[in-house]
């Protein structure tokens, strides 16, 4: 890996097939100010489809970018399409991290065997994919709501910090320790950046709602056969999503009301600075001590 160590800029290759709530903004989470000088990000996606054929056609492109680190994100990583992507990344011998939703838990052993890392997000819920209900606008609103929950409850922070850690290790010429995390309600509780305990409880509640709505959508999409029954269920699930987003927003508002909202922007170096009072500048953690 000598060659890589000498390369000053690490390249992150993201492969997305199908969509979960963490997918659309994933590459932006790594470089939200677009001025990070230690990484380049390249993404290839197959859109909402995640069939084996789609993956097989699109996957080679991400390898052609020759990334230092692979990320593959998809619903249920145990399905053939995402599984194919994992296999190819594993074979590349480059470090790779799998990000998936609750059904992806089934593939944990597999992923470990493949030498990859994983972040399984139990509160990244399945959408209400029923043609009587879901159109482009409803889909977008669901993603908007879920995204708010994932942002406030800390999932997006966890995701970028875990990827950042791998990048920092690569930059230091070390073999990265890949994440192996199931991000469930207790994990959310223990890793929240919200200072007010009720804000934390509200963010947890939002996350718990996301878990619940996933259950309702699974019921609606895979088990109920009559539209009179499943349409109510998907509508119910998307109402929960909307409510969860409001609750998440309220949690964050509490921190704003107290001017204790933690922000961790990426510096140009790629490291994150931290701040909590709005009118104070962000600093590197070591600067504080």
Judged by beta carbon, residue 109 or residue 226, the one nearer a copy of itself is 226
> What minimum distance in Å lies between the beta carbon of 189 and a copy of itself?
5
Nearest distance from residue 273's CB to a copy of itself, in Å?
8
From residue 218, alpha-carbon distances to 15, 108, 131, 213 in Å are 25, 20, 15, 9
* CA 39 – CA 131 distance, rounded (Å): 40
Tokens of 218: 């699974």
CB of 185 to a copy of itself, least distance (A): 7
Closest approach, Cβ 114 to a copy of itself, in A, equals 25
Residue 149, C-beta contacts closer than 8 angstroms, at least 6 positions apart = 21, 123, 206, 207, 209, 210, 241, 244, 245, 248
Return the number of the residue (34 or 109) whose C-beta is nearest a copy of itself. Answer: 34
> CA-CA distance, 233 to 43, in Å (whole number)?
34
Question: Which pair of structure tokens corresponds to residue 98?
Answer: 């799998």
Shortest distance, position 249 Cβ to a copy of itself, whole Å = 7
The residue among 50 and 111 lying less far from a copy of itself, judged by its C-beta, is 50
Nearer to a copy of itself, 118 or 142 (CB): 142
> Of the two residues 105 and 232, which places its CB atom closer to a copy of itself in the complex?
232
């Amino acid at each position: 890996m000598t060659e890589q160590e000498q390369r000053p800029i690490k390249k992150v290759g993201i492969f997305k097939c199908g969509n979960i709530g963490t997918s659309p903004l994933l590459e932006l989470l790594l470089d939200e100010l677009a001025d990070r000088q230690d990484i380049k990000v390249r993404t290839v996606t197959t859109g909402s489809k995640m069939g084996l054929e789609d993956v097989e056609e699109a996957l080679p492109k991400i390898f052609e970018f020759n990334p230092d680190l692979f990320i593959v994100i998809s619903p249920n990583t145990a399905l053939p399409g995402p599984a194919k992507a994992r296999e190819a990344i594993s074979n590349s011998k480059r470090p790779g991290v799998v990000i998936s939703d609750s059904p992806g838990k089934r593939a944990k052993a597999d992923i470990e065997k493949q030498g990859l890392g994983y972040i399984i997000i139990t509160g990244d819920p399945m959408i209400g994919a029923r043609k009587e209900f879901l159109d482009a606008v409803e889909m977008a609103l669901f993603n908007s709501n879920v995204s708010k929950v994932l942002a406030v409850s800390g999932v997006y922070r966890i995701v970028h910090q875990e990827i950042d850690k791998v990048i920092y290790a690569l930059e230091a010429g070390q073999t990265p320790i890949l994440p192996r995390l199931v991000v469930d309600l207790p994990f959310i509780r223990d890793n929240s950046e919200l200072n007010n305990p009720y804000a934390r409880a509200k963010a947890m509640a939002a996350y718990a709602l996301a878990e619940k709505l996933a259950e309702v959508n699974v019921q609606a999409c895979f088990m109920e056969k009559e539209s009179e029954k499943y349409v109510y269920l998907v509508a119910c699930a998307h109402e929960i999503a909307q409510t969860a987003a409001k609750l998440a927003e309220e949690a964050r508002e509490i921190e704003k009301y107290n001017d204790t909202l933690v922000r961790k922007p990426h510096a140009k170096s790629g490291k994150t600075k931290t701040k909590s009072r709005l009118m104070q500048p962000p600093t590197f953690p070591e600067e504080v001590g």
